[in-house]
Amino acid sequence: MSNTAETAPASAPDFPQMLGHPRPLWMLFMTEFWERFAFYSVSWALALYIVAHFFNGDPAGEAWASKIYGAYTALIYATSIFGGYVADKVIGYQRSILIGAAVMAAGLFVVMLPSKPLFLLGLAMVVVGNGLFKPNISSMVGQLYGPKDERRDRGFTLFYMGINGGALLAPLLTGWLAGYFTDTPTQENYRIVFGAAGVGMVLSLLWFWFGRRGLKNVGRPAPDAASRMRVVWVLVAVAVAVPLVYLLFAFIGANGLQWLLSLLFVGVAAMLIVEAIRHDRVQLERVIAMLIIFAFNILFWMMYFQLGTSFNFLAANMVDRQMFGGWEFPVGWFQSVSPIAIIVLAPLVTQVWSLLAKRHKEPSIPRKFGLGLVFNGLGFTTLMYALTYSIDSHGLIPFWPLTACYVLQTIGELCLSPIGLSMVTKLAPPRLVGVAMGGWFLSMAVGGNLSGLLAGQISGESGMTAASALSGFTFSFWLLAGAGVLLLLISPLINRLMHGVR
């Protein structure tokens, strides 16, 4: 459900150990757990809340809600680039995390306020705060271990479980809260979801505040960057960035944001190509291979992020959620299927790759990406089947197709996502690894914004119908399946461009 950057210092401090790992790992684990709880609480409720609160439940609001969700998702990833720079060059990781967590917590409580301008302002605060938080806490995990410490990969695996633990708990708890403290018998209380997310973010902030002393010098600013005035300047930058992000939400919109993200992506690609040309032909071809994979990565996330928009509208309005005894399965609980699938299937996928590697048949990076696209596409086939053959007299489809879709898409994510940042570090020009990481996050940002635009098209002017959902999901399947097969076919060419990188 998330990406982590693996960085390690020349030597790590001598930390006390807990369960075979440096004790601060567990503090970072819980800090990330609660931040992810906050993030995934907002993710499942955001689009549904917009329709319910600002459009009085009118499905005509689904298109705007989808575009706001897509823009929000895109900016979450895009601002990570700037947050990483602030931590690296200006105030250090610890201070960046503290400021980011505080701004996010405040923003989540502002989102609760019943005003569209304040709602968008709160979202802007969450975006800016997340930019300072997201890339930096994962970077600190790598700094707990020395460069030759064999426990490092296992440490990141444990940290990854923290991410998915928060992603699992968030929809389960807040989905129940939304139904229990309901505004009306037919309307879930989404504002309490945002309040719970704010509490989760406060817990994340406090956990890091009291636990950071155990980090010793890890994540602290360099001596020449320790001035508190630098913190003041970052706070000023935050105060400027929040209104700018608000303007993107309120006035520029998803279409304008798409142009901006695309220009940024083209700029990053140009920088990488120019640097590679200065290096040698091998480096140029590796950059070309990386950029090709970035393009396919955009398509993957464009469809995967439907979980917050069209899949949510489908779950709320077109899925039979009646369980035994008349109990209704909460809409938000569908969002827990992916983290459950990751926790269950990740060890199995890893074992499959290990067994194939022993036989010298492990798929290359492009082939894994191709398989990821194919499995993502296969998820849509279950919805296509249900919308074609399984609609009942009330216009509802069974429970299982959406659940199966999430599982298949998660298998696709496990094929693709874990190797993304590792691929970048191997293929990027040595002097521009950070820029290449920015390109990776930008590809996800572009995909996120496109997901909102696609969901808006599926909903149209009057809201999603069975016919529009079937049309949109059929398009999604063929685009993903075609892209996946194409990538599998051209994998030998990309492998040659990578010159031995696997």
Instruction: Please give the average per-residue pLDDT across 216-239, as a whole number.
Output: 86
DSSP code for 186 = T
> Residue 22: what are its φ and ψ, rounded to 5°?
-55, 135
For residue 344, CA distances in Å to 164, 356, 362, 363, 414 come to 11, 20, 21, 22, 11
pLDDT for the residue 4: 44
Mean pLDDT, the chain, whole residue set: 90
**Domain 18-498, second-level architecture:** Up-down Bundle (1.20)
Q: According to the model, what pLDDT value does residue 12 have?
A: 61
> Quick one: pLDDT at residue 152?
67
The mean pLDDT of 208-221, rounded to a whole number, is: 86
pLDDT at 272: 93
The pLDDT tens digits for 373-416 are 999 999 999 999 999 999 999 999 999 999 999 999 999 999 98
pLDDT recorded at residue 111: 96
- Is the pLDDT score of 279 beyond 90? no
Confidence label for 220 from pLDDT (cuts 50, 70 and 90)? confident
Alpha helices in 143-252 (DSSP H): 152-180, 190-211, 228-247
Cβ-count burial 338-374 (b if 16+ within 10 Å, e if not): bbbbbbebbeebeeebeeeeeeeeebebbbbbbbbbb
| Mean pLDDT value of segment 320-348 | 90
Residue 418 has pLDDT above 80, yes or no: no
Q: What angle do CA 334, 42, 182 make, to 5 degrees?
A: 75
Convert the pLDDT of each residue in 159-188 to its tens digit. 777 788 899 999 999 999 998 888 666 678
Res. 56: pLDDT tops 80: yes
The answer, yes or no, to whether residue 145 has pLDDT greater than 90, is no
- Decide if pLDDT at 301 tops 60: yes
DSSP code at position 57: T
The percentage of the chain sitting over the pLDDT mark of 70, rounded to a whole number, equals 95
Mean pLDDT of 289-317: 96
pLDDT level of residue 192 (50, 70, 90 thresholds): very high
- Average pLDDT, integer, range 33-53: 94
pLDDT at 60: 94
Give the amino acid at 436.
Answer: A
Q: Where are the domains of the chain?
A: 18-498
State what percent of residues in the chain have pLDDT above 90.
67
Question: Minimum mean pLDDT among 46-50, 82-86, 261-265, 329-333: which range?
Answer: 82-86
pLDDT tens digits for range 457-472: 999 999 999 999 999 9
Q: Are 335 and 378 in contact (CB under 8 A)?
A: no
Residue in this structure with the two tokens 């600190």, named with its chain if needed:
140
